[in-house]
Amino acid sequence: MNTTSPTRCTAWRLLKAHSRAPRRVPRGAVFVARGPGVALDYSRQRVDAKALVLLARLATERGLPEWRAALLAGRKINTSENRAVWHTALRAGDQAPAEVSRALNKMIVLSSRIRAGKKYKRIVNIGTGGSDLGPRLLADAFGDGQLDVRFAANADEVELDRALEGAKPASTLLVAVSKTFTTYETLWNLKRARAMGFRTFYAVTANLKEARKYRPAEILPMWDWVGGRFSVWSAAGFSAMCAIGPRAFQSFLQGGRDIDRHFRDKPLEQNIPVLMGLLGVWNTNFLGAGAHAVVPYATRLRLLPAYLQQLEMESNGKSVDRAGRAIGYATAPVLFGAEGTPSQHSFHQLLHEGTAKVAVDFIDCALNPALSANAAAQAEALARGGRGSGTLRLQRLDARNLGRLVALYEHKVFTQGVVWNINSFDQPGVELGKKLAQRILKGGK
């Protein structure tokens, strides 16, 4: 497995030289990659055929095919923590490990019983980070209103108070999600809710022993080979399953599985997540874009930018490579975004004429002609000003295509991690912050 610096690759040096040539959006170029339910139009990126050839060569020199095979096989590529990385197993269908199938079947039974019964009227998901952002996105996008599903992630009491407002303890189920079951914010909110009389809860965790101390009504398992920001596919998504129903949740899993197969089987130059990753490298490392905007033209995807902030910046926001060497090149850009068309009246002026270099992903969900026209117009206006963007076009917006969209970005992040020679599956800075906060709370410095 290649763990050398990318700057030592011949393709990196050739890309550096090529990027110094005058650059503009190639008018009339047709660059489109197609996958299941989605197409990537990158004809408005500031990239030409030569750069694309060199980017594919860079991926090969970095050993992306070998790293990809290791990821999909669940090998221990999270070397700093000596853990496997196997979130793709969570959506593998008939090929999933037996323990994953058992957990999914238990989720389906429990959520079906809750949705069909009259005992619980409200579900409150208590978790933070990956235990909140993914399930919250899915529930917000496709919750059918059969249950009132709310979320509490913040240690600020206001969020939990709002999540419990008007609820009755006898008809409220708490779902506490923490892989370690030691996460401060999660335990803080769980203890506070129980002190307020809301005592019935399910635990979702990999630390069964610790969770049992709190006497949950049910425990749904997680595993140490699933990183938090990749866990929405697991029992961490139980509250989302309650919100959207088991059938829609399984459709979400199917969408992720569709993209796993596309990522595994398609040649690099036709592979949508690989192209997304390589174009991101091109924009970040060779064209100097230090920020990345994601603009979905759908209210159902309004929480997608927040979800992607964790996925991309926690995964690839690193300044030390796999060998422990300080990095002398850019890694993850700052990610921000909001739903279009409201974002057009917020930050698009900066995209069009600001001094900052920002790469942009537009997501067109084919919801209505006005939304699609606005997405196309923004991309075209940027191109006329010499600023590039890419557009992801979904055939429709449903749970399966949301699964496809999330998996695309997961594999994009992985591709970039391989190119940059970083471990995309640990978060040492975050862990240090947690330890320091606990020390300060206990009166230390």
Q: Which residues are known catalytic residues?
A: 314, 345, 434
Q: What radius of gyration, in Å, describes the C-alpha atoms of the chain?
A: 22
Q: What distance in Å separates the CA atoms of residue 316 and residue 413, rounded to the nearest whole number?
A: 7
Q: Which residues contact 144 (CB under 8 A, 6 or more apart)?
A: 243, 244, 245, 248
Q: Are strands 291-296 and 201-205 parallel, antiparallel or unpaired?
A: unpaired
How far CA 123 is from CA of 111, 132, 184, 347, 414, in Å, comes to 11, 13, 21, 35, 33
Whole-angstrom distance, CA of residue 121 vs CA of residue 113: 12
Per DSSP, 333 falls in state: P
Rounded distance, CA 76 to CA 425, Å? 11
Q: How many CB atoms lie within 10 A of CB 320?
A: 15
- CA angle 226/212/196 to nearest 5° reads 105
DSSP codes joined into one string, 101-116:
HHHHHHHHHHHHHHHH
**Where are the strands (E) in 323-434, listed by range?**
334-337, 358-364, 390-394
